[in-house]
Amino acid sequence: MTTPTAVALEDAKVAFRLGDGRVYTAVEKAHLTVAQGEFVAIVGPTGCGKSTLLNVAAGLLKPAAGGVRIFDRPLAGLNRDAGYLFQADALFPWKTALDNVAIGLEIKGTPRAEALPLAQKWLTSVGLGAFAGRYPHMLSGGQRKRVALAQVLIRDPKILLMDEPFGPLDAQTRQVMGNLLLDLWNADRKAVLFVTHDLEEAIALADRVVIMSAGPSSRIIGDWRVNLQRPRDIFEVRLDKEFHALHREIWSVLKDEVMKGYAQSTHAAEAV
């Protein structure tokens, strides 16, 4: 028996019309599948369109060509099976941490009286039980990410889409958040599509690491399976021999793309 496919991007192409009428192709023919229960990380140089790809899977962006299938059904409109964790702060600043988490259920029609205790439980499970009454601006960056995680997970989505969610955090907080994510994910193993520019983070978290080439018209140029044992501890796994071997192997491919991406961005800056 094969596990069902949660997300399938089938030769998805993403293009934007620029202000001057030209068409900018961000991603070319991206083919990518995420099986149910699989944790896939997309890594690529800055500006390669990895977030764009995630937005296509979320239904926030329509591919210019190709298709998206979610659990074998073509995606029309927003992806209702997915929870999305944004890179930037996406919490509602006018709601307390508790209300921010509870809103995920209230939208579905759960009465507030039922939603609030559940929200409190989720806040506790992301380690913020005592911060229920705080507004987002009273929380640290890491704490806000925890609330955002609870806000997404309380809806119990079948798919988790994460766009460099820990990008703005400091290195230590990122590792703590990574472990928290793995713990929560281990409980019910949702399909995860995790975008990051940090290769180490990708290998430490994921079952598969997908590499994208530098943009424009970036493509998927590599796909590695990570066979590190689960459950993992992010602090420990980085010391593993296998981790290093894999890191070296993927980096040899990624390095060229990073240099290309960097050269392009500096050229672009010079052209301006």
Partner 1 sequence: MSRAMLLALQVLVAIVCIALWQLLSSVPVLGKILLPPFFFSNPVDVFDQIVKWFVSGVIWKHLWITLVESILAFVIGSLGGVLIGFWFARQPLVAAVFDPYVKMVNALPRVVLAPIFALWLGLGIWSKVALGVTLVFFIVFFNVYQGVKEVSRTVLDNGRMLGMSEGQLMRHVYWPSALSWMFSSLHTSVGFAVVGAVVGEYLGSAAGLGYLIQQAEGVFDVAGVFAGMFVLSAFVILIDMGVTLVERRLLVWRPTVDGRG
Please, which of residues 75-134 interact with partner 1 by CB under 8 A? 78-80, 82-84, 86, 88-96, 103-104, 107-108
Q: Least separation, in Å, of the C-beta of 242 and partner 1? A: 35
Cis peptide preceding 216, ω within 30 of 0: yes
Q: Least separation, in Å, of the C-beta of 108 and partner 1? A: 7
Cis peptide preceding 157, ω within 30 of 0: no
CB 201 within 8 A of CB 247: no
Nearer to partner 1, 149 or 209 (CB): 149
Q: Least separation, in Å, of the C-beta of 157 and partner 1? A: 9
Give the number of residues in contact with partner 1, rule: CB under 8 A: 29
Question: What's the CA gap between 263 and 52, in Å, rounded?
Answer: 21
Give the number of other Cβ atoms within 10 Å of residue 94's Cβ: 9
Nearer to partner 1, 152 or 237 (CB): 152
CB 42 within 8 A of CB 212: yes
Q: Least separation, in Å, of the C-beta of 182 and partner 1? A: 22
CB 76 within 8 A of CB 230: no
Please, which of residues 153-182 interact with partner 1 by CB under 8 A? 155
Instruction: Give first-to-last CA distance, the chain, whole Å.
Output: 55
Nearer to partner 1, 103 or 203 (CB): 103
Q: Least separation, in Å, of the C-beta of 66 and partner 1? A: 22
Nearer to partner 1, 83 or 261 (CB): 83
Please, which of residues 12-71 interact with partner 1 by CB under 8 A? 58, 60
Q: Least separation, in Å, of the C-beta of 89 and partner 1? A: 7
User: Which residues, in sequence order, are bridge partners of residue 191?
Assistant: 159
Q: Is 2 in the site for partner 1 (CB under 8 A)?
A: no
CB 94 within 8 A of CB 111: no
Q: Least separation, in Å, of the C-beta of 267 and partner 1? A: 28
Q: Where are the beta strands (DSSP E) in the chain?
A: 5-17, 23-35, 39-43, 65-70, 73-74, 82-85, 159-163, 191-196, 208-212, 220-225
> Looking at 137, 225, 241, 248, which residue binds partner 1 (CB under 8 A)?
137
Please, which of residues 225-244 interact with partner 1 by CB under 8 A? none
Angle ∠(31,57,169) on CA atoms, nearest 5: 110
**Contacting residues toward partner 1, per CB under 8 A:** 58, 60, 78-80, 82-84, 86, 88-96, 103-104, 107-108, 135-138, 151-152, 155
